[in-house]
Amino acid sequence: MAEPPEGIIIRYDGLDAANHAIEIDALGDSLKGLGRIIGVAATFAVTNKLVLHSDARPLRVVVGPPEPNCVTLEAALAWVDQSDFIAGTASALTASLVTYIVSIFAARKEEMKHLRALAEQALRQAGHRDDAIIERLLDTVDKMAESLKPSVRKAVKPVGTTARTMTVRGASM
């Protein structure tokens, strides 16, 4: 069996999460929100199209060995079944897009600029060379982020109640 593509690391720190615990309803909502964000971003990464309807997109969540003072999960894109190159490129672009979308709502301007640059770099690695096309795709990502606001609110539900912070990043970032 082939290794699944690298996933997206979801880390909750502080409060209950510091003791390797997290309130289950908040975690459930967070995973539902993140699942929608990751699914839409992954669809965009593979097709370059904004598809907001929610079809079945198998997404596997793996809990690894405990790390100090947090709860950490990895979401693997099980449905990206193309060649290793395309799957790896789609995973990298998806991770960049997800972190960018979540950071928009954290209102950290410098981080957003950095993550937008990473998303642009990931688009270039995915084979896009024309600056006008890349700019159009990034504008589409901004529209995607706006439409995913309710999912981001769900995703961050544990923050402030059962975790102090939530971090989302690509497994290799």
Determine the pLDDT at residue 11. 94
- Per DSSP (E only), the strands in 32-164 are 59-63, 70-77
Band of residue 80 on the pLDDT scale cut at 50, 70, 90: low
Distance CA 100, CA 118 (A): 9
Distance CA 37, CA 16 (A): 25
Distance CA 17, CA 159 (A): 10
Per-residue pLDDT of 95-141, as tens digits, reads 888 988 988 887 777 877 888 888 888 888 877 788 898 999 999 99
Determine the pLDDT at residue 81. 53
15: left (phi over 0), alpha (psi -120 to 50) or beta: left
Distance CA 81, CA 87 (A): 7
Distance CA 7, CA 86 (A): 14
* 38-61 mean pLDDT: 81
Determine the pLDDT at residue 55. 62
Determine the pLDDT at residue 15. 97
Distance CA 38, CA 98 (A): 6
The answer on pLDDT for 2 being more than 50 is no
The answer to whether 171 and 9 have CB atoms below 8 angstroms apart is: yes
Lowest mean pLDDT among 9-13, 28-32, 88-92, 131-135: 88-92
